[in-house]
Amino acid sequence: MSLLELHQISKSYGEGATSVRALAEIDLSVDEGHLIAVMGPSGSGKSTLLTIAGSLEEPTSGEVRIGGAALSSLSRNDKARLRRRTIGFVFQDFNLLPGLTAAENVALPLELDGISARKAHQAGIAALEQLGLAERADHYPDQLSGGERQRVAIARSVVGERKLLLADEPSGALDSTNSEVVMRMILDACKRGVAAVVVTHDAHLASWADRIIFLRDGHMVDHVAPDLSDSSLATPRA
């Protein structure tokens, strides 16, 4: 079943002669349990695609459906609830709250959704342990390195019962070892049925995906399955 569907999505900024088209008639569906990698040069529309897919931004035209529900039919409050309960985001700037510890940042979405503080904290600690951050759970964002903040953001995106994961360069601040840890965590989420869309410039990480789509100047120019016969890209999904 397709968890995320984009139908003829276009996005323009500005009007008239100054108008800039960020996306042009994009069609994309992502099934439950599948990982889609999005690649393309800077300015090709990759991040815009994620923000529209996650209801953070409205398309100029076209329709987005999540779990069969058209986002255009949802109220502002319904969209906020959908993002909190269904969608996990990983942004390039992390978006961690400076006044909360790593564990509190990870647990916050669960608490906002009515889960007890104790259970939310336990889930947050477990997610941080998967990423080797248990000893940093009580540290605040400004006490963490860029790579550690990135891993906290990843933990926050996959904790709970999220069904859609949208990640913008999730390994951008990480070394190769931690990049692999992060990708395995995303794949573990996919094995639980999560649909994931990951923007990346790293061909090796893209090789973990079920499909790779390429954007250029707002257009989808190609979509392929990764060629795992190439030893430089081969990475087990098991």
- Determine, yes or no, domain membership for 232: no
Is residue 120 assigned to a domain?
Answer: yes
Q: How far apart are CA 97 and CA 57, in angstroms?
A: 21
Domain count, the chain: 1
CATH (domain of 187): 3.40.50.300
Q: Which two tokens mark 128?
A: 């941080």
CA distance 41 to 229: 25
Token representation of residue 159 = 């904790």
d(CA 47, CA 91): 9
- How far apart CA 235 and CA 152 sit, in angstroms, is 24
Is residue 235 a part of any domain in this protein? no
Q: Rounded to whole angstroms, how far apart are CA atoms 165 and 198?
A: 8
Model confidence over 57-107: pLDDT tens digits?
999 999 999 999 899 999 999 998 888 888 988 887 778 999 999 999 999
Range(s) of the domain holding residue 69: 2-224
Residue 67 lies in a domain: yes
pLDDT mean over 184-211: 88
pLDDT at residue 187, as a whole number: 87
Residue 198 lies inside a defined structural domain of this protein: yes
- 238 part of a folded domain: no
Residues 119-138 have pLDDT tens digits of: 999 999 998 998 889 999 99
DSSP 8-class letter at 194: -
- CA atoms lying within 13 Å on the CB side of residue 126: 9
Q: What is the pLDDT of residue 150?
A: 83
Tokens of 55: 């209801």
Domain-located, residue 236: no
Question: Which H or E run includes 221?
Answer: strand 219-224
* Separation CA 113–CA 220 (nearest Å): 36
pLDDT score, position 62 = 95
